[in-house]
Amino acid sequence: TAAELRPQNGGGGTPGIGDCQMLLNQLKEITGIQDSAFLHAALKAANGDLMEAVAFLTEEHAQAPARDTAAAEPSKWEGSAVGKQLPPAPRVPPLTRGEQNLLRGCFTAGVCVFCDRPQEAHSAEYKNRSKRKRCEVWGENPKQNDWRRVGDWPVGMKNIGNTCWFSAVIQSLFQLPEFRRLVLGYSLPQTVLESCRSRTGKRNIAFMQELQCLFALMLGTRRKFVDPSAAVELLRDAFRSAEEQQQDVSEFTHKLLDWLEDAFQLAVNVKNPGDKSENPMVQLFYGTFLTEGVHEGNTFSKIETFGQYPLQVNGYCNLNECLEGAMVEGEMDEATASQSVKYGQERWFTKLPPVLTFELSRFEFNQSLGQPEKIHTKLEFPQTIYMDRYLYCSKELIQMKREEIKRLKEKMVILQQKLESKSRRQIEKPIPCCWILLHSVLEGTDTGTEDGPCFLTNSSLQPKSHLVLQACSSPAGPSERPAPHMVSEDELNLVRTCLQRWRNEIEQDVQDLKESIARITLSIEQMYCDPLLQQVPYRLHAVLVHEGQANAGHYWAFIYDQPRKRWLKYNDISVTESSWEELERDSFGGLKNASAYCLMYISDQVSCLAGSEAGQFQKEVEALPPELRHYVQEDNWRLEQEAEEWEEEQSCKIPQMEPSPASESQDLSSESGPVCEQSVRSLSSEHALIAKEQTAKAIANTAEAYEKNGVEAALCEAFHEEYSRLYLLAKETPTPQNDARLQHVLVYFLQNNAPQQVVERTLLEQFADKNLSYDERSISIMKVARAKLREIGPDDVDMEEYKRWHEDYSLFRKVSVYLLTGLELYQNRKYHEALTYLVYAYQSNTKLLLKGTSRGVSKSLIALYRRKCLLKLNEVAASLFVSCEEACVAEGIGILNELIIPCMHLMNKFEISKEDLDAIEVMRNRWCSYLGQEDMDAKLQEKLGELLPRLLDCSTEVIVLKEPPKIRPNSPYDLCSRFAAVMESIHGASAVTVK
For residue 118, list its beta bridge partners.
Answer: 63
The β-bridge partners of 226 are 157
Q: Residue 300 in contact with residue 292, Cβ under 8 Å?
A: yes
| 3-state per-residue secondary structure call for 791-823 | CCCCCCCCHHHHHHHHHHHHHHHHHHHHHHHHH
Give SS3 for 613.
coil
457-465 — which CB contacts under 8 Å span 24+ positions?
458/496, 458/500, 461/492, 461/496, 461/499, 463/489, 463/492, 463/493, 464/489, 464/492, 465/489
CA distances from residue 862 to 385, 396, 803 in whole angstroms, order as listed:
73, 89, 27
572-to-166, 348, 544, 584 alpha-carbon distances in Å: 9, 38, 12, 20
Catalytically annotated residue among 40, 541, 546, 554:
554
For residue 785, the cross-strand partners are none
Question: Please, what sign has the CA dihedral across residues 725, 727, 732, 735?
Answer: positive
Q: Let me know: does 219 contact 620? Beta carbons within 8 Å.
A: yes
Dist. CA 774–CA 82, nearest whole Å = 24
Q: Which of 813, 815, 825, 818 is closest to 985 using CA atoms? A: 825
Q: What type of residue sits at position 223?
A: R
Cα gap 718→767, rounded to integer Å: 9
From residue 266, how far is each of 234, 261, 305 by CA, in Å?
A: 19, 9, 20
Rounded distance, CA 982 to CA 628, Å? 53
Task: Assign residue 589 a region (left: φ > 0; alpha: ψ between -120 and 50; beta: otherwise).
Answer: left
Closest CA to 739 of 794, 817, 660, 807: 817
- DSSP helix/strand/coil, 309: strand
What are the angstrom distances between the C-alpha of 964 and each of 290, 791, 814? 79, 42, 12
Question: Please, which residues bridge with residue 301 across strands?
Answer: 292
Which distant-in-sequence residues (6+ apart) come within 8 Å of 904 by Cβ?
870, 920, 923, 951, 954
859 HSE (CA, 13 A, CB side): 19
Distances (CA, A) of 543 to 173, 232, 583, 602: 11, 21, 8, 12
Is 554 one of the annotated active-site residues of the chain? yes
Calculate the dihedral angle through the C-alpha atoms of 523, 524, 526, 531, rounding to the nearest 10 degrees: 110
Inter-residue contact 329 to 273 (CB < 8 Å): no
Single-letter residue type at 583: L
Catalytic residue among 106, 115, 164, 976: 164
- CA geometry: angle at 623 spanning 619 and 624, to 5°? 120
- β-strand pairing of 371-374 with 328-330: unpaired
With residue 358 as reference, give the H or E element that holds it: strand 355-361
Cβ-contact 288, 306 below 8 angstroms: yes
Sorted by sequence, the CB contacts under 8 Å of residue 156 that are 6+ apart come out as 167, 224, 225, 226, 570, 571, 572, 573, 574, 575
Verify whether residue 164 is a known catalytic residue.
yes
> Are the CB atoms for 126 and 60 separated by under 8 Å?
no
Q: In 3D, which of 264, 359, 341 has the Cα closest to residue 300?
A: 341
Catalytic residues: 164, 554
